Amino acid sequence: MNSKSRSIFGICLLIAAASFSLFQVNMSFADSTDDVLAEGRELTEDRQKGNCLACHIVADGEFPGTQGPPLIFMQQRFPDKAKLRARIYDATAANPDTMMPPFGRHGILTDEEVDKITEYVYTL
């Protein structure tokens, strides 16, 4: 193999290695995303934490409440995910008369838990 062939071969190996690394990163990101969504769903159902089912209808939720709006079409209702997160964190900022507790402001949920619930609810 001449030097030009070795250079081309080396470049091909680098491209293959980089592609494989990117594939691994994307796979681990998908796994972590699935984990975040699963944890977000658990928090929405947890009576000691999010407890979204106390007031909202959620797909496949058991014994949902009807005080709040159903959690459906969330991406259409909140095209800006940050606004949905802000509503979950402290709904009183947008509506001082809301019945929804300010989960983040009152420390009912941590910032990380609010993020996970936001990610899950955004998929509904």
DSSP secondary structure string for all residues of 62-106: SS--SSSPP--SHHHH-SSHHHHHHHHH-GGGT-TT-SS--TTTT
Q: How far is CA 96 from CA 87, 92, 99, in A?
A: 12, 4, 9
Predicted local distance difference test score (pLDDT) of residue 15: 53
Predicted local distance difference test score (pLDDT) of residue 22: 41
pLDDT band at 4 (very low <50, low <70, confident <90, very high): low
- Domain borders along the chain are 3-122
Predicted local distance difference test score (pLDDT) of residue 25: 40
Predicted local distance difference test score (pLDDT) of residue 2: 58
pLDDT in tens, 12-68: 444 544 444 444 444 333 446 889 999 999 999 988 888 898 999 888 788 888 889
Task: Give the global pTM.
Answer: 0.71
Q: Whole-angstrom Cα distance, residue 40 to residue 45?
A: 9
Predicted local distance difference test score (pLDDT) of residue 16: 46
Q: Whole-angstrom Cα distance, residue 10 to residue 15?
A: 9
Predicted local distance difference test score (pLDDT) of residue 50: 82
Q: What is the mean pLDDT of residues 57-80?
A: 89
**Looking at the domain that runs over 3-122, which CATH code has it been given?**
1.10.760.10
Q: How far is CA 47 from CA 64, 66, 108, 117, in A?
A: 12, 16, 11, 14
CA 104, distance to chain mean position in Å, is: 16
- Average pLDDT, whole number, for the chain? 81
